[in-house]
Amino acid sequence: MQSGAERETTGGFSFQEQMSQQEGKETTEAGKSDSKAGPSEAIFERVKTQLRARLGSEVYSSWFGRMKLMEASKGCVRISVPTAFLRSWINGHYLDLITELWKQEAPDTLKVEIVVRTATRNVRATQENKPAAARKAASRPQTALASGTLAGAPSARANPAKLPEADGRSNILGSPLDSRYTFDSLIEGASNRVACAAARTVAESDSNAIRFNPLFLHASVGLGKTHMLQAIAAESLRRKPQARVVYLTAEYFMWRFATAIRDNNALTLKEQLRDIDLLIIDDMQFLQGKSIQNEFCHLLNMLLDSARQVVVAADRPPSELESLEPRVKSRLNGGVSLEIGAPDFAMRLSILKQRLASAQAEDGSLDIPEEILVHVARSVTGSGRELEGAFNQLLFRHSFEPQITIDRIDEILGHVCRAGEPKRVRIEDIQRIVARHYNVSKTELLSNRRTRTIVKPRQVAMYLSKVMTPRSLPEIGRRFGGRDHTTVLHAVRKIEGLTDGDRQLAQEIELLKRLISDQA
């Protein structure tokens, strides 16, 4: 499968035209709604119910809350969403799941397609008919210069906006900053003190006092990478309101470049990128595609050679980012790489006290004894995200169990207590252990040979790569000799189906999981 960025198509509209869309103006869909068949609508509602059940209400409302059934006929289902970014994200992350759920309801379905609502055309026509002053006022967003936050990027929470022109040049779009993520709200401890010091230095230094470039921060999920990156952006903008600061994720960078190339606008985008003072990229492990990585490497070289600051974060060190091109790895390794570890007891207790103070500011009657917080801090030893979840559980229970006991807390938080830091599993480790278990070579595993002695280990390795790593189907396919995502999906479903009735295979899978986890 192509990534969401690579799959993005728009029916001829440019990126700027898509981004000017007003999400609330979707009235042109009303005329089409009458043509939708009753049975199809019923299926659509059941599919949405399944999505909510599988993914949770928060994920569902973020990505699927504004989906509408456009048409369903002759085996083709078309579902509309209000923005091109939503279509790109759903295509890249959830299209297989939606297709699978729809086919369970209607087995004769051939294709499920996500499209952008045609309200874009009418909105643009309405805008063009307005007086120039009205158009200008309606399109004026909050910007880095005015508000101390980056202009909104296309996301489920913020409308996209274009930064104003400065010195005759257009700034580019970045992802929105969360106002909660600042250095003031960032709890420092032994596990992140060095990284915090480096981050503050970057945010507070003048452009001619570059010390750590590029600064590379890495940590497992939930340990505060995003908080620290956004704090750098917020502090830099607070100190230097005129600075061109861009914070974005690797996936958004990929999508932005893909749409610029599609719209023959790549040169303009590159010129805009030359003008930034501080580039911050999150989730670097998701940067994929040779052409996109080449563009990123050119950008990185250009900014570093011009003494512009670059900050990057990922879930592992640069040397372990298997999907990155050697040139990109080499340049990232040339800077300062710092790890953010899991919080120790003192840091966990400080986090809980900070959260309690915030909650008490909203509800003055809230009172949780310190011994309860101490017990939770000792019990939940994983990531900051797990600690946040434990506190939310505690807050919820306290609302109707104000005299909650420590024994009761252990019962409530049993699923997160002592979870520990999650282990990282690499696809290379899976390939090596599976090949050794089945007495085949890794080269054979990645080859095009289709003999039974090779196909079974290959399918098992693909299945384990899907269930034990966060890698997408397209990336797993690339790591198995450049195979298509459908091959990986077939392997996953095949092994899942066989393990239900083949006890020996199920035992083999469990053994391999233990071997791989022990090696991680």
Task: Give the annotated binding-site residues.
Answer: 222, 224-226
Could you tell me if 515 and 433 are in contact, meaning their C-beta atoms sit under 8 angstroms apart?
yes
**SS3 state at 339:** strand
> Can you tell me the distance from the alpha carbon of 268 to that of 500, in angstroms, rounded to the nearest whole number?
54
Plot region of 346 (φ>0 → left; ψ -120 to 50 → alpha; else → beta): alpha
Could you tell me if 90 and 63 are in contact, meaning their C-beta atoms sit under 8 angstroms apart?
yes
The 3 state secondary structure assigned to 119-170 is HHHHHHHHHHHCCHHHHHHHCCCCCHHHHCCCCCCCCCCCCCCCCCEECCEE
Plot region of 253 (φ>0 → left; ψ -120 to 50 → alpha; else → beta): alpha
Q: How many residues does the chain have?
A: 520
Please give the annotated binding residues for ATP, written as ranges: 222, 224-226
Neighbours of 30 (CB within 10 A): 8
Across the beta sheet with 76-81, the strand order is 68-73, 76-81, 111-116
**SS3 state at 492:** helix
Kindly report the backbone phi and psi dihedral angles of residue 10, in degrees, each rounded to the nearest multiple of 5, phi listed first.
-135, 10
- Which residues are CB-contacts of 510 (< 8 A; sequence separation ≥ 6)? none
**SS3 state at 42:** helix
Across the beta sheet with 278-282, the strand order is 245-249, 278-282, 309-314, 215-218, 336-339
> Can you tell me the distance from the alpha carbon of 117 to that of 62, in angstroms, rounded to the nearest whole number?
17
Longest CA–CA separation in the chain, Å: 73
> Can you tell me the distance from the alpha carbon of 391 to that of 85, in angstroms, rounded to the nearest whole number?
33
Burial-class residue 152 by CB neighbours within 10 Å (0-12, 13-18, 19+): buried
Give the amino acid at 354: Q
**Residue 246: enclosing H or E segment and its boundaries?**
strand 245-249
